[in-house]
Amino acid sequence: MSDNEIRKTLKSADTEEFLDIIFYRKLGYQVAKFSARHGIRPNTITIISIFWGVLAGHLYYYNHFWINLAGVFSLMIANTLDSTDGQLARMTNDKTRLGRILDGLAGNIWFISIYVHLALRLLNNGYDYWVLILGGLTGAFHIFQAAIADYYRNAHLYFVKGESGSEFHNSSQIKAEIEDLSWKKHFWYKLFMKSYLNYTREQELFTRNLQKLISVVKSKFPEGIPDNIREGFRRENKPLMPLTNILTFNTRAIALWIAVLINQPILYWVFEITVLNAILFYMVSRNESISKKYLNLIEQPTNTTLS
């Protein structure tokens, strides 16, 4: 197994996290090769990851170090499979819209299980019922943080690789596709697409300038993004990619594991509400500023220069 072989199954070095590259992607690559040899499809891997993630949540319910540690390994397996499905899709060119929807849904299901079981654990440990409200609020923040981070990474990939190298969609496109689907013939797919539409609308809520920028780029440069726009946006936006990784899995998982293993699970929710929300607000503000700059550059090229 060479690093070059693994790199071919990744989206872009810009959006990969160090821990993913040295650990999860290497494990995922081996599972992806095994799956490809045996005809196992990416969506099957995603569904299996859901079971491991839900199991992890259940194991965090108990005030028992070794059971909690088993939960740590269960969530690590779920995340390895989450790496596997994307690597397998790129390895076998088995990419589908349903696969992308399932991939995003899987992570949310893991953490719904985790948040519910943490809330029940806290209730059993003597906390009042307000922890249910706190858990629901924190879960909503989590979903929003992960959705925005995913949106920014796909927007970055759009500028790095173009439409073919990204999974960037807008709600108008998705809504139009849904209207062409029949409930009778495509019930489950249409249901998933409606879920994806809501997810995309969440992503678009605070990304106005980015949406305008991409719309203008598609309209003015149908043959491809000019190099000065592509490279300039990539250079300025790239420092935000580590922040998107913090808001998705590894950093939050490590914080979760520490809180659970020291028997202070509520500290994870405090971390979520304070640190991760602060990162989210900074990331949104910075990306909107960058997007506005390049929007002005395209619309008024003589008045704006790249720095």
Fold designation for 3-299 = Four Helix Bundle (Hemerythrin (Met), subunit A) (1.20.120)
Task: Please tell me the pTM assigned to this model.
Answer: 0.84
Residue 229 and residue 297 in contact, taking contact as beta carbons nearer than 8 Å: yes
Query: What contacts 111, CB < 8 A, 6 or more positions away?
Result: 53, 57, 139, 142, 143
Q: Residue 12 pLDDT > 80, yes or no? A: no
User: Does pLDDT of 187 surpass 90?
Assistant: no
Which of 90-99, 180-189, 224-233 comes out lowest in average pLDDT? 90-99
277: Cβ contacts below 8 Å, ≥ 6 apart: 141, 145
Q: Of 17-31, 64-78, 127-141, 195-209, which range is least confident?
A: 17-31
Contacts of 194 (CB under 8 A, 6+ apart): 178
Per-residue pLDDT band for 286 (boundaries 50, 70, 90) equals very high
Q: In 3-state terms, what secondary structure has residue 268?
A: helix
Asked if 166 contacts 158 with a C-beta cutoff of 8 angstroms, the reply is yes
42, 88 contact by CB (below 8 A): yes
Predicted pLDDT at 274: 96
Residue 63 is given by DSSP the state: S
For the stretch 46-59, pLDDT in tens is 999 999 999 999 99
Look up residue 154 and give its two tokens: 């796909």
| Sign, Cα dihedral of 147, 80, 103, 258 | negative
Q: How does DSSP classify residue 34?
A: H
pLDDT tens digits, one per residue of 140-155: 999 889 889 988 988 8
Distance CA 112, CA 19 (A): 24
In the chain, where the domains are located: 3-299
> pLDDT band at residue 180, thresholds of 50, 70 and 90?
confident
- Evaluate if residue 258 carries a pLDDT over 80: yes
pLDDT in tens, 189-207: 888 888 888 888 888 888 8
User: Side-chain half-sphere of 88: how many Cα atoms within 13 Å?
Assistant: 29
